[in-house]
Chain A
């Protein structure tokens, strides 16, 4: 066993870790009036982490460490890119949201960066232990961050719910993993894939797999493990909600698919039907729940449950039909990347809109477009993109999903496709409701004056980045297919 450390391969993680420490130290030194430097350093550090990533990507070689437990290949690079870019956007969104509270800025950025570090580690993990550490490092800081608005009861509730259910699910996940290790004596994915063949009939295996599914299901807030999501999303500071619904969800997704795809491909008889049910239930319950929401953030919470269902569809369908999982994996990745951008855009717009309307209730948003057209256009773009209306990026996510389902073939998959088709129509109704409020309804309440509500430069930048990506991918989806192709290196045993 050699412990050769490849520093270039670890560079993105190292840069983020260093930034974390710098932020922490600065927070101790700086007087309160200058604390905003912690935010600037966090943003700059995250941007800097992209540099080694680009170098790695341009090299295009697969680097492997610790006996193949830690792999930096094209797939991992794409995921790290996704995590870094979305963390960057979340940091931009946080900047003046957190500054307006003036408390604990340093800790906020420290914790957020720790969570980002976790997701970077998770992307490269190819064994259960590193995967678990990465995943928990992603989630752990969020228990604190969701309760950041200490004076607000809802925020306390958010944190408490998230923490208790989160710890429970982590325990179940770990239990599942320990059973797997107990039966096979392996922790690496490659080793598990070899030793689990033919063990599908073992009752203990069933328990192990369901433990894993329950644990991951919590992270991605799939029905029936979604109950924490709406309250936590509503109570948490909005940038953290955005982070929960994008980064932490994506991390959970990737972890789940990596384990199922790389470690337990021969047990697909066990997990495929479970994923099928999870997908169908998440889409349906998420959408029906969203129909009844009057608060924009809660609406997005239910929408993100439903979107998790859509994301599960390709993988569930392909596994049930016994078709090529690589195809499904690429469709899921495409969906994940597009979803990340448009959902972050939607949350950024919610932050800007909430300042203008001083509320998160849909009713207060009535007629927003009549006082601020640009904000109105942004609402329309991001929410219709989430609904999958061309020519905005969301259409291609849905398209890729449907395509992989149809390619998989088989009766159960066609049923799932039909459920997804009906659900995308339901989804339109509540996304359009937000747009309706903003554009079609007459103003009811008072809006905050521009001087008070104008979005800060960093938030504008976040909105701008999300807008450009959403529109450009909509017209030139080839960019997104490149992301999907990266998952194929996994299939080739990378």
Chain B
């Protein structure tokens, strides 16, 4: 399978797009054919990503070396290339992406939100898959930018068309608007704002790479090498890091740029929320690890305390906001702010422990929060409300659903033995001893506050369980029969449950892929020079 070595990743990225075109020609009425095609496409993409795992060489990976590489000329005039490849850091995320996409299609099978139209919805999902998969394998800044942006359009339509139709009064708007309309445009504008500046940052790097000798380039591996050799320094690098920070931080999202998230997640249709939470948020944190850290290591060190502080504020703020929610889906949405705060705290430590924690944190958050949004969607599908005060006693009405919810909430609060534990725990360990030269005061305070955050996390997850699962069913449900979990839901959820347990008990399944790359990254990039520059008051 030699061709797979070169074109495997391209297949994974563009197969969904081809699927979207194929879906376009299938008549709208033939719903079965549409669903089968979408399922086939996502399953093939998933299997292909498993083959990538099978052929991936896990032994002795070094930093900035990639496998399954393709490097073809794309836009010759500006030296932008179609350069894709994968390493231990991106592999788990790519597999997560193809995997969740399969589950999303399965779940969609009999869950169509108003105004239905499976054809359009599936086409959007396929385009989204291309953008997501593409971002994780892109090794060229222009290519990365394109994939990073492609996801906007389908998500805008998903939220805008299939989203929450309730009417809300939004401060600053003269008239009452439908939640979905407000959330969709807010999501779009925030992300575009960030990525416009991210693009300026990319272009500045491109420009500066020409001054460092050689042709100007958008190539991430080349820029990484230049970065490690200290080509980007001073005010220039500080501003570039800031510009890229805006782009990535909006996507993560980090406090105070997070305000689009609760609206978007709450308003999105179930599958949209799942894809947003499980995969899309990772594009931002992945951008930090893939681009910001290796290309601008000294700036990363300079910005690290600020990132750590914002991350911790995110953790605490997210948790407190959760405690104030009455809407189940909105609570889960805010919990993402907190969880991604741990991921960013891990990254800010600039240590192998911290970055490993970030990657496993991303995977775990993808599995757990994805499942939570599935559950929230299925429950509001049945009760036609998401108000937690009305959902009490759910476990008596729907034992299986309630059981899974209890399990997932436990995973989310970081119970040892389940996937959520490792990311939080290790990122706290990482911030106890961050990269030499970083302010111990800031990071140890961050660790303490983060630890308080884990307690708060437990607090709001238990609050969720107590409100939703426990107690007696409200009188309004008396005499009503509720259909417990159906087979499509089970098919979509059981794999997630299994993986949450597996990653929890055997985290090596992730670390096996990531550790070598991460350790080598930290050792090469955050070397004594960077530490020295910090010491000299940088």
* A interface with B by C-beta (< 8 Å): 370, 373, 380, 384, 389-391, 395, 399, 402-403, 406-407, 409, 417-418, 421-422, 424-425, 428-429, 432, 436, 439-441, 476-478, 481-482, 484-485
Query: In the complex the two chains form, what is the Cα distance from A402 to B156 in whole Å?
Result: 25
Residues of A within 8 A of B206 (CB): 403, 406
How many inter-chain residue pairs (CB < 8 Å) link A and B? 80
Identify the closest chain A residue to B160 (Cβ): A440
Determine if B181 is an interface residue (Cβ-Cβ < 8 Å). Answer: yes
Nearest Cβ on chain A to B448's Cβ, whole angstroms: 38
Which B-chain residue is minimally distant from A404 (CB atoms)?
A: B203
Instruction: Among A373, A395, A406, point to the contact of B207 (Cβ < 8 A).
Output: A406
For the complex of A and B, the 4 pairs showing the least CB-CB separation, nearest first, are: A481-B77, A421-B196, A406-B203, A440-B160
The B interface, classified by DSSP as helix, strand, loop or mixed, is helix
CA distance A473 to B535 in the complex (A): 49
Contact among A389, A403, A421 with B78 in the assembled complex (CB-CB below 8 Å): A403
User: Does B386 touch A at the CB level, under 8 Å?
Assistant: no
Q: Please determine whether A428 and B77 come into contact, CB atoms closer than 8 angstroms.
A: no
> Which chain A positions have C-beta within 8 A of B74?
476, 478
Which residues in A have their C-beta under 8 angstroms from that of B180? 440
Contact check: which of B120, B149, B160, B188 meets A395 at CB < 8 Å? B149
Answer yes or no: B397 CB below 8 A from chain A CBs.
no
B77 x A436 contact (CB < 8 A): no
A489 to B261, CA, bound (A): 50
Question: B149 touching A429 by the CB < 8 A rule?
Answer: no
Q: Provided the pairs A395-B146, A399-B142, A402-B203 are in contact, do residues A436 and B185 lie with their beta carbons within 8 angstroms?
A: yes
Chain A interface, DSSP helix/strand/loop, else mixed: helix
Between B115, B146, B150, B196, the greatest number of chain A beta carbons within 10 A of the residue's beta carbon is seen for B196
In the complex, the answer to whether B203 meets A403 with C-beta atoms within 8 Å is yes
Pairwise interchain contact A402-B145, C-beta atoms closer than 8 A = no
A417 in contact with B200 given A390-B145, A425-B192, A485-B77 (CB within 8 Å):
yes
Name the residue among A380, A407, A422 with the largest chain B CB count within 10 angstroms: A407
A421 x B207 contact (CB < 8 A): no
Q: Is the CB of B78 within 8 A of A481?
A: yes
Number of interface residues of B (CB under 8 A): 34
For B204, what are the chain A residues with a Cβ–Cβ distance below 8 Å? 406
Assembly CA distance A120 to B160 (angstroms)? 45
When the two chains form their complex, are residues A389 and B203 in contact, meaning their CB atoms are under 8 A apart? no
Query: B114: shortest Cβ distance to chain A, in Å?
Result: 11
Q: Assess whether B189 is in contact with A428, with CB atoms less than 8 Å apart.
A: yes
Q: Is the CB of B157 within 8 A of A407?
A: no
- Cβ of A436 and Cβ of B75 under 8 Å apart? no
- If the complex has contacts A402-B203, A406-B203, A439-B160, are A390 and B150 also in contact, measured as CB distance less than 8 A? yes
Is the beta-carbon distance between B152 and A389 smaller than 8 angstroms?
Answer: yes
Q: List 10 A-B contacts (CB under 8 A).
A: A390-B145, A390-B146, A399-B142, A406-B207, A422-B193, A428-B188, A476-B74, A478-B77, A481-B78, A484-B77
CB-CB under 8 A from A399, the residues of chain B are 142, 199
| Interchain CB contact under 8 A, B188 and A406 | no
Q: Mark B409-453, 1 if CB is under 8 A from A, else 0.
A: 000000000000000000000000000000000000000000000
User: Complex Cα distance A142/B146, Å?
Assistant: 39
Given the interface pairs A389-B149, A432-B188, A436-B185, the reply to whether A402 lies near B76 with Cβ below 8 Å is: no
For residue A389, which residues in chain B have a CB less than 8 angstroms away from its CB?
Answer: 149, 152-153, 192
A428 touches B75 (CB 8 A): no
Residue B197 lies at the interface, judged by CB distance under 8 Å to chain A? yes
Chain B nearest CB from A404 CB (Å) reads 9
- Do B76 and A481 touch (CB < 8 A)? yes
Contacts of A477 in B (CB 8 A): 75
CB pair A421–B188 under 8 Å, yes or no, is: no
